[in-house]
Chain A
């Protein structure tokens, strides 16, 4: 096996698995438990969600079980509004800023962890996990407290006096950005680090013997090997940051003057706060469609990534 591993050096594409081509029922059997759970808990509600988006579905319908079809009324009600375009732009910018920040810092941390000594690496892992472990509600509460205008430690450290972060659009966005990035980096960094740790050391040794420097090894071994996982965490980050809700809702409530209202916050205001499930469903369908369209190129690449056939 030693020779095998050595033979598979440097060109990871060659190391990608070759699928068994013969037809068999085995893959379906292996897939069945996952498919069953997903069909029951997500699939069926999803069908229902789409149906509801064409119905006048509010509390009365929920209590009585009787609904009324309304065609596209929910969709037109949702799309009818002049605030939608600036809000979509804001949502996209916020999403890109959050995902970008998370990925840059997360990748940097993962690479550094690989280079660090064992003790230092454990310390970094501990910090990441501790940050990740703080429950969402508590983290948000903690943030309001850290940035509290009068008693917050951040204003004290930065000598900002009684500056109110939530009262100005830019600082309110920064406040949310800091929280989301702080919370998301651990997953990205640990997943990427796990991916890095999967690269056999032999590859690097072989490359070093060939006289490759750090950057060459990084470019030729690390990047191609990491690409599928990097692409995966990128797509996931974009999806999650597009749908960030609790952090914005609890920190700024979408304010000041709508300055931090993203699509999800807006849809919550518009539909869920008024128990108008039909409109809420319509918004969900539209948002999912939009996100699918925006990420479709990357998702398809992701599906193909690493597949050698």
Chain B
């Protein structure tokens, strides 16, 4: 005991030095990872991989692991991480000398870690891994910093309208709408047929920014534009203003007044839908609904949200995850082999799209799987074709984690702040956050 204490004291004295920047843990910018481990090279080794809770099913993860083990002989240790405070968790993990080898990171958060040197540069192996396919820009764009690639795509998730066919047909609507005008006319009918005060023709919580940005993009607006190295918030533009007004109109008309300042998790919009308190929601999947109420299966339908211009659909936010390799990982060749296994056509087709119903990572794969995907998932594939990514700046993680984006749409929906004022102050916030140095 005594020895441990004095050792600890000695260590803390030594540390005062690190804090004053006169030393450190050998942290020069890591060299790019270029070599993919070959067959048998990993025998006896174990790769640690972090996945996020709730994203991939156990079966899908197993499929990736099997593919990887087949290719290298190494085994995999999977650890599931929770969402709460995940950026802090990843930050501190990457700062350790023995980080996990491979990490699943939400696509919009990748720039944060890539720009700061936490992830390995994997540009050298992009061609080998992609095998001639075009990875979705929404997944690869944020992972590209200064022209270098720092993560490989794992899966994509887009939003489409999920609706309850029974409620729709009871209101006299029997087929999904083709235009925005038809869409609102249908919702008007459903609204008239269901007067209960807690019923929403379309449940769209006011802080649900994933819905809000679609209206902005559909009106030709942008969240921010990049000029050279500098980002500028663009919500004050007339197009964005029009989109925001359309959003407010839609939200206020078809969702309950009580939902104007809510995010989609309290209550969980899947539960609202499953308990038939709404006829439609905008979601990335039908799985969560079916998990709550499996009996709804025959009643569900999906379609992409129609755009304001006839014949178009609204551009959607492209969500999803990437896999990154920790810069300090001692097993980087194996880690690259893992990325290769996860992005391989076989795994993407059978596991990512087949088992979990997520959208695969390249446009070719989307086309290939479109035919074989269950009818219910087709709307998501379709939506993927018109997907948009959020600004590829490390500062974007700030915008998502400081709740300002939620508050921005919430304050517009409730009418607490006039649209022009909200846009002005949010643009200022974007200017500051997106251009902040790391």
Q: Which residues of B contact A89 (CB under 8 A)?
A: none
Q: Is the CB of A60 within 8 A of B438?
A: yes
Please choose the segment from B110-118, B130-138, B164-172, B224-232 that sits at the chain A interface, where 4 or more of its residues have CB less than 8 A away.
Answer: B110-118
Question: Within 8 Å CB of B395, what residues of A?
Answer: 274
Interface hub of A63, A68, A137, A274 (most chain B Cβ within 10 A):
A63
- Determine if A149 is an interface residue (Cβ-Cβ < 8 Å): yes
Q: Which listed residue, A44, A64, A69, A257, touches B27 by the CB 8 Å rule?
A: A64
Residue from A44, A55, A151, A166 in contact with B198 in the complex, judged by beta carbons closer than 8 Å: A151
For chain A, residues 151 to 175, give those with C-beta under 8 angstroms from any C-beta of chain B. Answer: 151, 161-162, 164, 166-167
Q: Which of A193-201, A248-256, A296-304 contacts B (4 or more CB under 8 A)?
A: A248-256
Residues facing B in A192-240 (CB within 8 A) are: none
Q: Which residues of B sit under 8 angstroms from A69, Cβ to Cβ?
A: 21
| A52 and chain B: residue at smallest CB distance | B19
Taking CB atoms, residues of chain A closer than 8 Å to B78 are none
B window 422-436: CB within 8 A of A: 433, 436
Given A164-B261, A166-B261; A48-B407 close (CB under 8 Å): no
Q: In the complex the two chains form, is B27's CB within 8 Å of A63's CB?
A: yes
CB neighbours (8 Å) of B18 from chain A are 65
Interface flag for A62 (CB, 8 Å) = yes
Q: Identify which of B43-51, B252-260, B312-320, B363-371 touches chain A.
A: B252-260
| Chain A residues, CB < 8 A from B259 | 149-150
A275 touches B112 (CB 8 A): yes
Contacts of A65 in B (CB 8 A): 18, 23-27
Whole-angstrom CA separation of A144 from B411 in the bound complex: 18
Q: In the bound complex, do residue A66 and residue B402 qualify as a contact, i.e. CB atoms below 8 Å apart?
A: no
A29 within 8 A of B: no
Does any Cβ of A come within 8 Å of B437's Cβ? yes
Nearest residue (CB) in B for A51 is B19
Cα–Cα distance between A257 and B112 once the two chains are bound (Å): 27
Instruction: Give A29-71 as 1s and 0s: 1 = Cβ < 8 Å from B's Cβ atoms.
Output: 0000000100010001001100110011011101111111100
Does A268 have its Cβ within 8 Å of any Cβ on chain B?
A: yes
- Does B346 belong to the interface (CB within 8 Å)? no
In the bound complex, how far is the Cα of B394 from the Cα of A253, in angstroms?
A: 22
Q: CA of A151 to CA of B200 in the docked complex: distance in angstroms?
A: 14
A62-B414 contact given A254-B403, A275-B112, A276-B436, CB 8 Å threshold: no
Does A121 lie at the interface of the complex (its beta carbon under 8 Å from any beta carbon of B)?
A: no
**Any A CB within 8 A of the CB of B174:** no
B414→A164 contact, CB < 8 A: yes
Residue pair A151, B118 in contact (C-beta under 8 Å): no
**Proximity string of chain A (262-298) to chain B, C-beta cutoff 8 Å, 1 when within and 0 when not:** 0000001100011110000000000000000000000
A52 to B19, CA, bound (A): 8
Q: Which residues on the B side are within 8 Å of A166 (C-beta)?
A: 261
Chain B, range 18-43, C-beta contacts under 8 Å to A: 18-21, 23-29
Q: Are A162 and B401 in contact (CB under 8 A)?
A: no
B299 at interface by CB-CB < 8 Å = no
Residues A51 and B197 in contact in the complex (CB < 8 Å), given A268-B402, A274-B402: no
What is the number of contacts between chain A and chain B, taking CB atoms within 8 Å?
Answer: 136
Known: A51-B19, A65-B24. A162 touches B267 (CB 8 A): no
State in angstroms the CA–CA spacing of A249 and B27 once bound together.
35
In the complex with contacts A58-B116, A60-B116, A151-B267, A273-B25 CB distance below 8 A: no
Nearest residue (CB) in A for B117 is A63
Are A274 and B433 within 8 A (Cβ)? Answer: yes
The reply to whether A257 and B12 contact each other, CB–CB distance below 8 Å, is: no
User: Inside 8 A of B433's CB, which chain A residues have their CB?
Assistant: 274
Distance in Å from the Cβ of B12 to the closest Cβ of chain A? Answer: 5
B404 touches A274 (CB 8 A): no
Q: A65 vs B29: C-alpha distance in the bound complex, in angstroms?
A: 11
Inter-chain contact A55/B117, CB cutoff 8 Å: no
Contact of B266 among A68, A144, A256 (CB under 8 A): A144
Q: Is the CB of A40 within 8 A of B403?
A: no
The answer, among A44, A51, A59, A249, for a CB contact under 8 Å with B438, is A59
Q: Decide if A59 touches B116 in the complex (CB within 8 Å).
A: yes
**Using Cβ atoms and an 8 Å threshold, which residues of chain A touch B198?**
150-151, 162
* B394 nearest CB neighbor, chain A only: A59
Interface hit among B87-95, B347-355, B383-391: B87-95
Are B116 and A253 touching (Cβ within 8 A)?
no
User: Per-residue CB proximity of A52-96 to B under 8 Å, as 1/0?
Assistant: 100110111011111111000000000000000000000000000
**Which residues in B have their C-beta under 8 angstroms from that of A268?**
402
Q: What is the CB-to-nearest-CB distance from B7 to chain A, in angstroms, rounded to a whole number?
A: 12
Q: Known interface pairs A69-B21, A162-B256, A256-B411. Does A64 touch B416 (Cβ–Cβ under 8 Å)?
A: no
Interface presence of A145 (CB below 8 A): yes
Query: Does the CB pair A256–B261 fall under 8 Å?
Result: yes
Cβ contact of A255, chosen from B16, B19, B112, B407, cutoff 8 A: B407
Instruction: Check: A148 CB closer than 8 A to any chain B CB.
Output: yes
Query: How many angstroms between the C-alpha atoms of A150 and B117 in the bound complex?
Result: 46
- B398, A273: Cβ atoms under 8 Å? yes
Tell me, in angstroms, the Cα distance from A55 to B19 when the chains sit together: 10
Contact B436 A60 (CB under 8 A): no
Q: How far is the CB of A284 from chain B (nearest CB, A)?
A: 15
Report how far A167 CA is from B23 CA in the complex, Å: 50
Q: Are B12 and A167 in contact (CB under 8 A)?
A: no
Partner of A58, one of B262, B404, B438: B438
Tell me how far the C-beta of B235 lies from the nearest C-beta in chain A, rounded to whole angstroms: 16
Which residue of chain A has its CB nearest to the CB of B113?
A: A59
Residues of B within 8 A of A161 (CB): 197
Closest 3 CB pairs of A and B: A65-B24, A149-B258, A64-B27
Interface residues of B (CB under 8 A from A): 5, 8, 12, 15-16, 18-21, 23-29, 84, 87, 91, 94-95, 112-113, 115-118, 197-198, 256-262, 266-267, 327, 394-395, 397-398, 401-404, 406-407, 410-411, 414, 416-417, 433, 436-438
**Other 10 A-B pairs with CB < 8 A, given A40-B8, A257-B411, A268-B402:** A36-B5, A59-B117, A63-B27, A65-B18, A148-B266, A162-B257, A164-B414, A256-B411, A274-B402, A276-B436
Residues of A within 8 A of B (CB): 36, 40, 44, 47-48, 51-52, 55-56, 58-60, 62-69, 137, 141, 144-145, 148-151, 161-162, 164, 166-167, 249, 253-257, 268-269, 273-276
27 A-B Cβ contacts within 8 A? Answer: A44-B12, A56-B437, A58-B438, A59-B115, A59-B118, A60-B438, A63-B27, A63-B94, A63-B118, A65-B26, A65-B27, A66-B21, A66-B24, A137-B84, A149-B259, A149-B262, A164-B261, A166-B261, A167-B416, A253-B403, A254-B407, A255-B261, A256-B407, A256-B411, A268-B402, A275-B397, A275-B398
